[in-house]
Amino acid sequence: MINAADIETAGIQASGIQASGAKASGARAAGVDSVTDADFDDEVLKSGLPVLVEFTADWCPPCRQLAPVLSAVAEEEADRIKVVQLDVDTDPRTAARYGVLALPTLMVFRAGEPVASMVGARAKRKLLQELADVL
The number of residues in the chain equals: 135
Instruction: Give me the catalytic one of 32, 44, 63, 81.
Output: 63
Look up 108 and say whether it is catalytic: no
Beta strands in the chain (DSSP E): 33-35, 51-56, 82-87, 105-110, 113-119
Q: Which of 31, 32, 27 has its CA nearest to residue 16? A: 27
Catalytic residue among 27, 51, 60, 108: 60
- Say whether 60 is catalytic: yes
| Active site (catalytic) residues | 60, 63
